[in-house]
Amino acid sequence: MTTEPLPTRALLEKLCKWRSLFAGWQLGTRSDTDPECQAVRDHREISILLRVEVTALTRLLLDAGVFTPEQLDAAVGSEARNLDRDYERRFPGVTATEHGLSFDGARIAETQSWMGGWKP
């Protein structure tokens, strides 16, 4: 017994077709059987779905008056600040600025300790 897909499911399946374009943008043209491309397509699909779900949930919460746009803005800013600090602890010697990432030359030994083994 087959049932017609829900309109939402059909919309999500259509939207997720973009995963292939994003994978090609990141990796270049690859076959559908290329493992790296499959992994990137899967990750892009998750990112697309997560964006839709978080945006929908946020809209519902705002519409229901659970929080205000100003409260959401403050919470997002706080979380961004916390994650930035977490990244600085995870990657000693690197900080994010308005212009990009800054690598502290005085802390090069720390940077080499976590960056050693990265692909060239």
DSSP state string for 32-49: TT-HHHHHHHHHHHHHHH
What pLDDT, on the 0 to 100 scale, is given for residue 1? 56
Look at residue 117 in the predicted model and tell me its pLDDT.
Answer: 85
Return the SS3 of 27. Answer: helix
Mean pLDDT of all residues belonging to the chain = 93
DSSP state of 66: S
> For 118, which DSSP code?
-
Spans in the chain with pLDDT lower than 70:
1-3, 5
- Neighbouring residues of 36: CB distance < 8 A, sequence distance ≥ 6: 27, 30
* pLDDT given at position 32: 86
Question: Tell me: the pLDDT tens digits for 60-83?
Answer: 999 999 999 999 999 999 999 999
Tell me the residue range of the domain where 90 lies. Answer: 69-120
**Residue 118 sits in the same domain as residue 80:** yes
Measured CA to CA, the distance from residue 74 to residue 50 in angstroms comes to 21
**Residues 42, 79 within the same domain:** no
pTM: 0.77
Asked if 80 and 86 touch (Cβ cutoff 8 Å), the reply is: no
Query: Does residue 96 sit in the same domain as residue 116?
Result: yes
